[in-house]
Amino acid sequence: MEIVLGNAVVELLSQRALFLPQDRILVIADLHLGKGMHFRKAGIFMPRDSGDRDYAVLHELMQRYRPRQVWFLGDLFHSAHNSDWLLFEAFILTYPDVRFVLIRGNHDILAPEHYAALSLDVVPERLELDDLVFSHEPLEHVAPGKINVAGHIHPGCLLRGLGRQSVRLPCFYLYEQVFLLPAFGALTGLYMMERTKRASIFAILPGRIVLL
Amino acid sequence: MNKWAEDWFEFKGWTSYPFQRNTWKAIAGGYSGLLNAPTGCGKTYAIWFGVLADHQKRYEGKKKASGLHCLWITPLRALSKEILNATTTVSEDLDLPYRIGLRTGDTPAAERARQKRQWPEALVTTPESVHIMMSQKGYADAFRNLQFVIIDEWHELLGTKRGVLVELALSMLKRINPALKIWGISATIGNIDEARNILLGMEHPHATMIRANIQKKTLIETVLPDTLEKFPWAGHLGIRLAGKILPIIDASRSTLIFTNTRSQAEIWYQHLLQVHPDLAGVMALHHGSLGEEIRQWVEEALHQGILKAVVCTSSLDLGVDFRPVDTVIQVGSAKGVARFLQRAGRSGHHPGATSRIYFVPTHSLEIMEGSALRYAAKHQMIESRLPYIRSFDVLIQFMVTLAVSDGFRADELFEQITQTHCYASVTREEFDECLLMITRGGRMLEAYDEFHKVVVEDGLYKVIDRRIAMRHRLSIGAIVSDVMMQVKFLGGKYLGSIEEWFISRLQPGDNFWFAGRNLELIRVKDMQAIVKASNKKKGVVPSWMGGRLPLSSYLTGALRHKLNEAQQGVADRELDFLKPLFEEQKRRSYLPGEQELLIEKIWTKEGCHLFVYPFEGKFVHEGMAAIIAYRLGRIRPFSFSMAMNDYGFELLSDQDIPVEDALLQELFSTDNLSADIAGSINTTEMARRKFRDIAGIAGLVFQGYPGKQVKARHLQANSGLFFKVFQDYDPNNLLLREAYEEVYDFQLEIVRMRQAFERISTHEVILKQPEQLTPFAFPIFAEVFREKFSNESLEDRMNKIKAQLEQEDSKHGDRTGKRRR
């Protein structure tokens, strides 16, 4: 689904990512890669291949949209270094012509050399592109006329209907000047957002986005 | 005979009961066994003097201390204190060199270290503490000379996973000393023989059963409201009856008021104070979330007879006799005959005294239960406790416990656990799968894997990572709770604990009721909620999860019997009172008898409701609702919201539910029942909810180090995520299968549900289509907690909801879609 954010046309992808067609930038938040292995390292038996789907979707996005840049909006890797980093390395090396940028999130605690070895540019807090300001955690103050694109929250929405039916879905969430991206990683949960009139909620269904 | 017992009983001026003498004799004869005796008749001494005599026989004249001679395991810390006091008194009165120590989760580290340097002769402890002892290096030395293990209130542990902890601990202690004597103490339950066999192990050579046979008279009276509310609403009536119980409290010396949940206890305490301010100072509150200090004060004050009334929960169900208590009030359904009678037995402890219990119904239909309880008590319909079997989560925890201390060998452990009732049917393949889970984190072994919870060195399974060992010791046990927050005053005084999710909804400055006081939240810091006392009259009451037991099959049986009497017009105090309600039910719909199943189809603005009244208890209804939904879903895609209480269940859909006669027969048919049960479970959340406890016990969900929650932050994930991941990537996982098996046994109560389907298949189905909700339907309609079923596609459901929302928008301008009453 295409929407206008600030002055830019952006595409909301049902793979839980954002695409900026004009600059060919793919924006992905809260991947939490390596989470399964982090648990396993601590002796908690998370199934071994629980993170595979994430890479499959990443490759699919790369091939379909052929971005020039990929911006990770924080929480790229779940915690301390573990062997799953090798999988991420393999992913990055598949796309030598793409520039990868990480806006550091609260989970991104790896030593700088790990990022440097992959030529992954690390930005401490924010990146600006025209009217859009990208960050991991939503900014407290957004300059007038700007829109803050952020992650961190893992937004989800709860829909209720007749017959006391309800559905929980991940979503994009626009409230005033903040636009929240859904968490990308399969091993992440949802934080239920409030449904107020002033917020626009873009719920994610398999294969499509619906504005509520 | 038992010399010390005779001396001591004489010293006290008491006479021993035959069952006490029989127990002393049996223990002297080297028997193990089960003592079936109610609380408050001297069961502790029946066992204790047997233990003392054995010790004297073995060690008389020897200088060296014997080391641990007896373990006394109780389900409650409060009870441990009581046993410690009772047994210590004997040693002091008779000047015996037999020392008794206490070891529970509250025992300070220094005291534990002192015990280890020189073990007392006996330890009073809990199942969890015994497992923690087994996670310490050299534990076998501590138990080397152990002769006795006493399991107090075994009926309470049986039927829980803590009972499985006991079975495993006993299997280990028996391996250390094959001549170990095991004694259980149990109140009467339906399967008391099975209870003994489970405790003593499959083949115990020298076993006996001793019954106290002390009959107690119980008076049951239902407290009736002045007027009958024809549209009962769960929880609505109870508090209005508060005024009615004041005369009962006044006329009694000391009254225990049992409620089913902690929040209900808080509400009742508040309300009683409001309607009767004189109770301030002589009434107290007691429930499991209150701090130890507060609870101990209440218990002490009860002993001394200072308190006129205590509002409590199951926290005062067990042990500990409060002699001044002469009256018990049960608020709301006790859900089972045994539990109701046990609570009744908390009053009138003197030999020959009568137990007096008043039943306060919380909604009109519940009034009928008073009558049903009297019927069931008269016919001695005492429920059984269903034991857990094949609990792989507890087994995995136990494996790691042993790996943390001295390690274990697979063949030995397999042989050991298959001697227990719980694991008797576990195959070597299943056992090996558990081993794979703790050594490789699953069945697959792949390159670069860093899983190494337990490692194998020369055939010995061991934990070598110190952090894993520490985390494991902190999470031993079979009670899984939510993350709790401590509630403290500014000055540091500890009040108790509340689930984090409740506190997280409050803002500083908000008021809430807890520990019987109105508190203002000041701030939340490091898992502590700092509060100050407030004079405000308004505030939210925390609701705690749990406490949703179903009515037992005996009680529902009695209830159906009473309903039949109501239809026949049999006179009875409760039924007579309910007559107007039954008349209204008859006028709007129909009043079913024992051989009839009533189904009501009613349209409201929420959609099409189907109400069914099998009177089989909440859990069976939950399963039935899922099966009926599943069967309807085969006709065409449906989404249902389902609600249930102990009397019936409701299916609610946004589209018409077809109910032609032929179809109804099919819906309740016993054909293909097994397949349909399996199919329906997959479409509901039942297994997912069961998995929550399993994930906690097996060590998947770690709640963090006490006071160090932040450090483990990156290791937190909820069990729902694990459930989903296992279903997607490891669907045959043993723990996942265990969740489904538990749904069958404990949630659906499969045996009972099958019987219910068979019973119903012989009944005449009465279908009514009333214009409005009926008295039977109303309390189910008002249930907030709902189960879901859907076999429509996400897309279709979403589109429908969206269309409905848009319609609502244009009508009300309200987007929350919340239902209004």
CA distance B649 to chain A (A): 15
Choose among B136, B153, B123, B140: nearest CA to B44.
B153
Rounded-to-integer distance, Cα B223 and Cα B204, Å: 48
In this structure, of B424-433, B551-560, B783-792, the range with the lowest mean pLDDT score is B783-792
Rounded-to-integer distance, Cα B395 and Cα B698, Å: 8
Instruction: Examine residue B469 and state whether it is found in any structural domain, yes or no.
Output: yes
Q: Does B316 touch chain A (CB under 8 A)?
A: no
Q: Show Cβ contacts of residue B34 under 8 Å, excluding neighbours closer than 6 positions.
A: B154, B183, B184, B185, B186, B192, B195, B196, B199, B200, B208, B209, B210
| Coil, helix or strand at residue B713 | helix
What pLDDT sits at residue A30?
95
CA distance A130 to chain B (A): 34
CA distance A155 to chain B (A): 16
Q: Cα-atom radius of gyration of chain B, to the nearest Å?
A: 28
Q: Does A44 touch chain B (CB under 8 A)?
A: yes
Rounded-to-integer distance, Cα B719 and Cα B1, Å: 56
Q: Does A86 touch chain B (CB under 8 A)?
A: yes
Q: Are residues B752 and B721 in the same domain?
A: yes
Across the interface, whether the CB atoms of B802 and A37 are under 8 A apart is answered no
Q: Show Cβ contacts of residue B20 under 8 Å, excluding neighbours closer than 6 positions.
A: B5, B42, B45, B46, B49
Q: Does B802 touch chain A (CB under 8 A)?
A: yes
| Coil, helix or strand at residue B255 | strand
Across the interface, whether the CB atoms of B725 and A46 are under 8 A apart is answered yes
Crossing angle of helices B553-568 and B337-344, in 10° steps, is 100
Rounded-to-integer distance, Cα B4 and Cα A191, Å: 65
Q: Are residues B204 and B229 in the same domain?
A: no
| Coil, helix or strand at residue A18 | strand
Higher pLDDT, B500 or A91: A91
Rounded-to-integer distance, Cα B203 and Cα B181, Å: 13
Rounded-to-integer distance, Cα B318 and Cα B256, Å: 13
Residue whose entry in the numeric block shows the structure tokens 């209150």: B290
Of A38, A159, A169, which has the smallest distance from its Cβ to B714's Cβ?
A38
Task: Provide the residue ranges of all domains of chain A, joining segments of one domain with +.
Answer: 2-211
Instruction: Point out the domain boundary residue: B193, B211, B229.
Output: B211
Rounded-to-integer distance, Cα A104 and Cα A75, Å: 7
* Percent of chain B residues past pLDDT 70, beyond the cut: 92
Q: Does B816 touch chain A (CB under 8 A)?
A: yes
Q: Are residues B366 and B264 in the same domain?
A: yes
Q: Give the residue-averaged pLDDT of B385-401.
A: 95
- Other residues' Cβ atoms within 10 Å of the Cβ of residue B233: 16
- pLDDT for residue B299 is more than 80: yes
pLDDT tens readout for residues B214-239? 777 889 999 998 888 777 665 555 67
Q: Are residues B10 and B26 in the same domain?
A: yes
Instruction: Examine residue B821 and state whether it is found in any structural domain, yes or no.
Output: no
Selected residue of B443, B448, B657, B719 to mutate for chain A interface (largest A Cβ count, 10 A): B448
Range of the domain at B404: 392-474
Residue A106 carries which DSSP code?
T
In this structure, are residues B284 and B308 in contact, taking their beta carbons and an 8 Å threshold? no
CA distance B498 to chain A (A): 22
Rounded-to-integer distance, Cα A164 and Cα B652, Å: 8
What pLDDT sits at residue A205?
87
- Which residue does chain B place closest to A52, by CA atoms? B729
Across the interface, whether the CB atoms of A47 and B653 are under 8 A apart is answered no
Residue whose entry in the numeric block shows the structure tokens 């301390």: A80
CA distance B728 to chain A (A): 8
Q: Are residues B106 and B179 in the same domain?
A: yes
Q: Are residues B271 and B374 in the same domain?
A: yes
- pLDDT for residue B709 is more than 70: no
CATH class of the domain at A2-211:
alpha beta
Q: Give the residue-averaged pLDDT of B763-781.
A: 91
Q: Does A168 touch chain B (CB under 8 A)?
A: no
Rounded-to-integer distance, Cα B153 and Cα B79, Å: 10
Across the interface, whether the CB atoms of A195 and B815 are under 8 A apart is answered yes
Across the interface, whether the CB atoms of A45 and B639 are under 8 A apart is answered no
Q: Does B570 touch chain A (CB under 8 A)?
A: no
Handedness of CA B292, B305, B103, B388 (dihedral sign): negative
- Other residues' Cβ atoms within 10 Å of the Cβ of residue B810: 8
CA distance A47 to chain B (A): 6
Q: Does B631 touch chain A (CB under 8 A)?
A: no
What pLDDT sits at residue B370?
93
Across the interface, whether the CB atoms of B788 and A166 are under 8 A apart is answered yes
Rounded-to-integer distance, Cα A87 and Cα B764, Å: 64
Higher pLDDT, B708 or B171: B171
CA distance A22 to chain B (A): 31
Report chain A's terminal Cα–Cα distance, integer Å: 13
What pLDDT sits at residue B132?
95
- Other residues' Cβ atoms within 10 Å of the Cβ of residue B637: 13
Q: Are residues B398 and B499 in the same domain?
A: no
CA distance B814 to chain A (A): 9
In this structure, are residues B268 and B294 in contact, taking their beta carbons and an 8 Å threshold? no
Q: Are residues B351 and B423 in the same domain?
A: no
| Coil, helix or strand at residue B159 | coil
Q: Are residues B444 and B503 in the same domain?
A: no
What pLDDT sits at residue B544?
57
Across the interface, whether the CB atoms of A165 and B797 are under 8 A apart is answered yes
What pLDDT sits at residue B816?
38
Selected residue of A76, A78, A165 to mutate for chain B interface (largest B Cβ count, 10 A): A165
Across the interface, whether the CB atoms of A167 and B801 are under 8 A apart is answered yes
Query: What is the band of B713 on the pLDDT scale with cuts at 50, 70, 90?
Result: low
For position B246, which CATH number holds?
3.40.50.300
- Which residue does chain A place closest to B454, by CA atoms? A43
Instruction: Examine residue B519 and state whether it is found in any structural domain, yes or no.
Output: yes
Crossing angle of helices B410-417 and B392-404, in 10° steps, is 140
Residue B788 carries which DSSP code?
E
Q: In whole numbers, what is the pLDDT of chain B averaged over residues? A: 87
- pLDDT for residue B596 is more than 70: yes
Across the interface, whether the CB atoms of A43 and B715 are under 8 A apart is answered no
CA distances from B519 to B192, B514, B522, B524, B688 (A): 46, 7, 9, 13, 35
CA distance B721 to chain A (A): 7
Residue B729 carries which DSSP code?
H
Q: Are residues B313 and B424 in the same domain?
A: no
In this structure, are residues B813 and A170 in contact, taking their beta carbons and an 8 Å threshold? no
From chain B, the residues in CB contact with A164 under 8 A are 606, 641, 652, 786, 819
- Which residue does chain A place closest to B400, by CA atoms? A43
Instruction: Examine residue B636 and state whether it is found in any structural domain, yes or no.
Output: yes
Q: Does B640 touch chain A (CB under 8 A)?
A: yes
pLDDT tens readout for residues B651-705? 999 889 998 877 888 899 888 888 898 888 776 678 888 888 898 899 888 765 5
Q: Give the residue-averaged pLDDT of B579-607.
A: 93
| Coil, helix or strand at residue B110 | helix
- Other residues' Cβ atoms within 10 Å of the Cβ of residue B14: 12
In this structure, are residues B51 and B150 in contact, taking their beta carbons and an 8 Å threshold? yes
* Percent of chain B residues past pLDDT 90, beyond the cut: 48
- ipTM confidence score: 0.83
Q: Does B449 touch chain A (CB under 8 A)?
A: yes
What pLDDT sits at residue B448?
67
Q: Does A106 touch chain B (CB under 8 A)?
A: no
pLDDT tens readout for residues A31-63? 999 998 888 888 888 887 788 889 999 999 999
Q: Are residues B192 and B63 in the same domain?
A: yes
Across the interface, whether the CB atoms of B798 and A206 are under 8 A apart is answered no
Contacts across the A-B interface (CB distance below 8 Å): 146
Q: Give the residue-averaged pLDDT of B434-438.
A: 93
From chain A, the residues in CB contact with B797 under 8 A are 161, 165, 167
Of B444, B467, B607, which has the smallest distance from its Cβ to A48's Cβ?
B444
Phi, psi of A81 (to 5 degrees): -60, 135
From chain A, the residues in CB contact with B468 under 8 A are 42-43
Instruction: Give the distance from CA B539 to its chain's centroid.
Output: 28
**Residues facing B183 on adjacent strands:** B33, B150
Instruction: Examine residue B575 and state whether it is found in any structural domain, yes or no.
Output: no
Q: Are residues B332 and B470 in the same domain?
A: no
CA distance B798 to chain A (A): 7
Selected residue of A32, A44, A157, A171 to mutate for chain B interface (largest B Cβ count, 10 A): A44
Domain count of the fold of chain B: 5
| Coil, helix or strand at residue B375 | helix
pLDDT tens readout for residues B136-152? 999 999 999 999 999 99
CA distances from A143 to A133, A199, B19, B349 (A): 9, 19, 83, 75
Of B450, B453, B726, which has the smallest distance from its Cβ to A37's Cβ?
B450
CA distance A90 to chain B (A): 14
Q: Show Cβ contacts of residue B149 under 8 Å, excluding neighbours closer than 6 positions.
A: B70, B71, B73, B170, B173, B180, B181, B182, B183
- pLDDT for residue B31 is more than 90: yes
Across the interface, whether the CB atoms of B801 and A197 are under 8 A apart is answered no
Rounded-to-integer distance, Cα B554 and Cα A116, Å: 70
In this structure, of B90-104, B164-178, B221-235, B413-427, the range with the lowest mean pLDDT score is B221-235
- pLDDT for residue B710 is more than 60: no
What pLDDT sits at residue B230?
75
- Which pair of structure tokens corresponds to residue B91? 């040693």
Q: Does B696 touch chain A (CB under 8 A)?
A: no
What pLDDT sits at residue B506?
84
What pLDDT sits at residue B708?
45
- Other residues' Cβ atoms within 10 Å of the Cβ of residue B589: 26
CA distances from B69 to B49, B52, B148, B502 (A): 13, 10, 6, 45
What pLDDT sits at residue B488?
92
- pLDDT for residue B774 is more than 50: yes
Torsion of CA B231, B236, B238, B243, to 10 degrees: -100
From chain A, the residues in CB contact with B805 under 8 A are 159, 161, 212
Q: Which of B53-57, B500-504, B791-795 has the highest mean pLDDT?
A: B53-57
Q: Give the residue-averaged pLDDT of A54-78.
A: 95
